[in-house]
Structure 1
Amino acid sequence: MDHPTHEHDPFRSPGEPPEPPRTPPTPCDPVAAALGNASLLGIGHLLLGHRWLAALAALGTVMLLGLTASAAAAWCEILLLLWWVAGTAHGWFLARGRAEHVVRRGQRAGTLAVTVAVLLTAVLLRVDAYGIEDRVNEAREGGDCGTAVDAQAEVWFGHRLAAAPVVDPGDAVVEACHRLERAASTLAAGRDGNVENLEEGFAVLALVLRKPGNENTVATVLDAFLDGLPTKDPCDTADITDWLRDREPTRDVLDRSADTAARTGPAALVGCGDDLMDEDDWQQARARYQRLLDEYPDDARTKEAHSGVEKAGRAIELDTVRRLVEATTDTSTGYCDNPAKYSGAPPYRKGSNRALFLGDTEYTDKLPRDWRTSDPAKAALVVCADTAENGAAVETCYYENDLSEYLPHQVTFHKVKIPLKVYELRTGKRVDPREVQISGGSCPRVLHYEYYGPTDLGPGGDEFVSTARSDVRDAFRPVVFRPAVER
């Protein structure tokens, strides 16, 4: 009977059991290892039994993909490509370093399937990303922000992993479109003539326009705003067109707003002037008409504007006259102290002229109604009558006081003199006469007066004549009647 023999190990102690034989390295397939790492998942390292290398390979892939998605730069994709080449080569050379090589068709088929799936997915995502961005760019070139935003909304995380630099410009398009949307809203709010909204809206348009490729989308927003002119309120339109006309040229698409201002401005200025006239805001109305004449001298509406300036000017003059008349209490106040013209007043013509009588109206109230008017718009003259005073002496008579026959009294009767300030309303200039004297009866048989006590000896030494309406009318006739022939 044969017994197994054992080689003597001089380093082993007597009685120590012998070491088990070492397991030789597992034969590997370099092609399978390379294909496994080409998946960027570290599968080749797993096949070689290097789990930590596999985990590090997968972690590196994740980090590079995250960097590519966030930075969206070409150098990140180049770095990822180098990582792919390095991983594939590393798997190949690790497997080639083994003593035994075998062909494992199952491993090759499996790793090839995984790698093809990964790479095909990346390629398909990249192709789809290019298609999306083509539609984004096409929509932007057509000025259609809505379609561009909808197209970019199809981008998901997979597109950013596989083609971040491709889809990243679309994000800038979306951001520009959102800014343009806010600009459109601001400009729409500026249709009420709010200059601050116009300034803000155009500032956003100019900011978006600085980025190349946004000309058409900016033009779409601008055209939508300009197409809304004129607005329903001509004064709002006039404010907008004034701002557009005064805007500094920028030598870009925004300058087309000046053409719209030239097209809609004249009609808006006239319409606004008319509305302001209806609201009795004559100062602003005249300013609108005058702006048309200053800025659009060749426009067909200049005749209307000239008429509006004249009409507004007359309304302003009449308003001034009315205020002065209301402030008049005597010949030293209001219109009598500071006469103003009303160019729309009836002319101071030969014959009868209606007058507006101010000041002391004790006698002027006795004048015929067709000589007088309370409406400044209908008066040719403004007559300021001062307090009556003694005029020319007419007759002196002697009276005895009823209280005592020994107290005779001498009384001189005078015409009623009324100092006047007479103004031609159309020019505001003073005209004659400077006074009138009213005649009347004198030396009545009995002279009545107020008795104020024992020391009252009777009437004063000067008295007015007694006047009738006809006397007042005769005295004031030269004031309201202009002679046919003046000498």
Structure 2
Amino acid sequence: MDHLMDEHDPYRRPDESPISPMSPESPMSPMSPESPRPPEPAPAPCDAVAAAIGNASLLGIGYLLLGHRRLAAVAVLGTAMLLHLAASTAATWCELLLLLWWAAGVAHGWFLTRRREHVVRRVQRYGALVVTVAVVLTAVLLRVGAHGIENRVDEAREAGDCEEAVAAQGEVRSGHRVVGATLVEPGDAVVEACRRLERAASALYDAGQAGDIEELERGFGVLARVLTEPGHERTVRTTLDAFLDTLPAEDACDTAETAGWLRDREPTGDVLDRSADAATRTEPAALAGCGDALMGEEKWKQARAHYQRLLDAYPDEPLAGKARSGVKKAALAIELDEVRTLIEATYSAGSGYCDKPAKYSAAPPYRKGTNRALFLGETDYTGKLPGDWRTDDPVKAALVVCADTAENGTAVESCSYENNRFKHFPHRVTFHKVKVPLKVYELRTGKRVDPRSVQIGGKSCPAVLRYEYYGPYDVGPGDQFVSTTKSGIRDAFRPVVTR
């Protein structure tokens, strides 16, 4: 053993003394503070080129070749996160960040080989190169494909063909979005705008066919908002033209409402102003047609309003003459309708037409000779006039005669009568003509004409005068009307209907 070796050991240095290996001073003792650590194994040789190429795949393959599995996992996770961020945000800075991540991975893979022995491992190089080329080539092809799709989308948009633009954008797959989000994102905006235009087109069509002004305003609002987005003038124009081509609608009144709104729309200095041409093209015929339809439905005021709109907006149109005739017909119909309403409301000389006379311009003129009349109010006497003097149709009447309750007229004769109940008290009775207060109106003008009353003559002082007895102090009847005849009534009213 070493501790028994001769101090004259020829292999011992002169300045050394024998020391027990178990003593604290022994360099081999585990208690020695200067005990050397076990030497670390030398790093395995590596191929730096293969590591750099492997990391260029963004899949951490270079790290795997160097034996760094955790770094490889981090590389894959970081790549996945960046690709997701780029696809979701479609921002250029995300793509730049991904490029920096790629460059950093390649550089870091090369950096990790600086203290290793470099060897050439062709299998690793070829394998890493195949994977990296496959990844890069796939990314390039997808990006080129995305670029081609978006070119087709742009061409369709510029041609105003939303259907083709949507179809082209429909070819975009998740791979295109991962590697070319900034390329395909504008196409998504085009598709969204086209969807909005499609909804606007549907709303405009329904509004045009139904004359719904609220929906029309909503549809044009969508067109105006899409028009503010760059490059959509042709798509908006196509949508607008498709709507305008649906005019006129089947119903003339609906077309008139739509065309009127288009004509009155405030100009905006853009493609939407084309709608004014459609109004000029369709509104005159629509107004005339609607006026005719409303006349057929006896909606006189609405019909006159449509005819008048045509005259106000298009005075030089060939249909203006028809519109003027329509205005006159509608006005007469309104007058006649009002007259008939007043006549139906008349129950006395102080009500209805007799209280508020109205004119009917198409009534027969009040001319020389006998004029037919509408007799209203009290009919005790007017009901006995000849039939050719009377009419119930205001269209055939030249006059409206309102008869009030009869009253005493001129005194004709006074006679004394012996009262059977009070024989010693004779009773004197005065007989009067029948005075009928009148309101006579010329129907054509609604103005009042003479006479203001008529008096009907007849027989007086009959041999026997009968009256109703009302009590012990009732000694006889008061003043009495003369006894009238049909001929007397006719003679009294002749001046009323004869001019």
TM-score calculated relative to the size of structure 2: 0.88
Alpha-carbon deviation of 1:424?
0.3
Cα gap change, 1:98/1:445 in structure 2, threshold over 3 Å: closer, same or farther?
same
Q: Do 1:37 and 1:43's aligned partners in 2 also have CA atoms closer than 8 Å?
A: yes
Task: State the partner residue of 1:290.
Answer: 308
Cα gap change, 1:368/1:20 in structure 2, threshold over 3 Å: closer, same or farther?
same
Alpha-carbon deviation of 1:385?
0.9
Q: Do 2:46 and 2:116's aligned partners in 1 also have CA atoms closer than 8 Å?
A: no
CA distance in 1, matches of 2:432, 2:324: 55
Q: Is 1:260 aligned with 2:282?
A: no
Task: State the partner residue of 2:456.
Answer: 438
Q: Deviations over 1:62-111 (max 9, x none)?
A: 2221221122122222222222223223323433x145222211111111
Q: Do 1:27 and 1:98's aligned partners in 2 also have CA atoms closer than 8 Å?
A: no
Q: Deviations over 1:169-211 (max 9, x none)?
A: 0110111112112222322332322222112111111111110
Q: How many residues align?
A: 471
Q: Is 1:150 aligned with 2:167?
A: yes
Q: Do 1:396 and 1:411's aligned partners in 2 also have CA atoms closer than 8 Å?
A: yes
- Of 56, 61, 79, which aligns to 2:79? 61
Task: State the partner residue of 1:129.
Answer: 146
CA distance in 2, matches of 1:267, 1:201: 24
Alpha-carbon deviation of 1:246?
1.9
Q: Is 1:310 aligned with 2:336?
A: no
Alpha-carbon deviation of 1:348?
1.1
CA distance in 2, matches of 1:160, 1:335: 82
CA distance in 2, matches of 1:468, 1:360: 17
- Of 430, 447, 450, which aligns to 1:412? 430
Q: Do 1:28 and 1:98's aligned partners in 2 also have CA atoms closer than 8 Å?
A: no
Q: Deviations over 1:360-396 (max 9, x none)?
A: 1100000011111122232111101111122223334
Aligned ranges 1:429-468 → 2 under 5 Å: 429-452=447-470, 455-460=473-478, 462-468=479-485
Alpha-carbon deviation of 1:22?
5.4
TM-score calculated relative to the size of structure 1: 0.90
CA distance in 2, matches of 1:12, 1:422: 151
Aligned ranges 1:368-379 → 2 under 5 Å: 368-379=386-397
Task: State the partner residue of 1:347.
Answer: 365
Alpha-carbon deviation of 1:238?
1.7
Q: Deviations over 1:321-359 (max 9, x none)?
A: 222222222222221121111112111122221111111
CA distance in 1, matches of 2:272, 2:378: 66
RMSD: 2.4
**Worse-matched range after superposition: 206-215 or 55-64:** 55-64
Q: Is 1:12 aligned with 2:28?
A: yes
Which AA in structure 2 matches 1:210?
A: T
Task: State the partner residue of 1:86.
Answer: 104
CA distance in 1, matches of 2:177, 2:384: 100
CA distance in 2, matches of 1:219, 1:329: 64
Larger Rg: 2
Cα gap change, 1:346/1:224 in structure 2, threshold over 3 Å: closer, same or farther?
same
Cα gap change, 1:480/1:47 in structure 2, threshold over 3 Å: closer, same or farther?
same
- Of 174, 177, 192, which aligns to 2:194? 177
Aligned ranges 1:320-335 → 2 under 5 Å: 320-335=338-353
Alpha-carbon deviation of 1:21?
7.2
Q: Deviations over 1:186-243 (max 9, x none)?
A: 2233232222211211111111111011112222222222222222222222221222
CA distance in 1, matches of 2:160, 2:112: 56
Task: State the partner residue of 1:6.
Answer: none
Give the match's secondary structure for 1:129: helix
Give the match's secondary structure for 1:330: coil
CA distance in 2, matches of 1:52, 1:291: 83
CA distance in 2, matches of 1:11, 1:174: 82
Give the match's secondary structure for 2:86: helix
- Of 102, 120, 126, which aligns to 2:119? 102
* Poorly superposed stretches of 4+, deviation over 6 Å: 18-21
Q: Deviations over 1:290-320 (max 9, x none)?
A: 2222222222222222122222222222222
CA distance in 2, matches of 1:99, 1:275: 98
Q: Is 1:165 aligned with 2:165?
A: no
Alpha-carbon deviation of 1:431?
0.6
Task: State the partner residue of 1:35.
Answer: 53
Q: Deviations over 1:236-282 (max 9, x none)?
A: 22221222222211111111111111211122222222222222222
Task: State the partner residue of 2:404.
Answer: 386
CA distance in 2, matches of 1:448, 1:13: 170
Q: Do 1:226 and 1:260's aligned partners in 2 also have CA atoms closer than 8 Å?
A: yes
Give the match's secondary structure for 1:447: coil
Task: State the partner residue of 1:219.
Answer: 237
Q: Do 2:259 and 2:282's aligned partners in 1 also have CA atoms closer than 8 Å?
A: yes
Which AA in structure 1 matches 2:373?
A: A
Which AA in structure 2 matches 1:30?
A: A
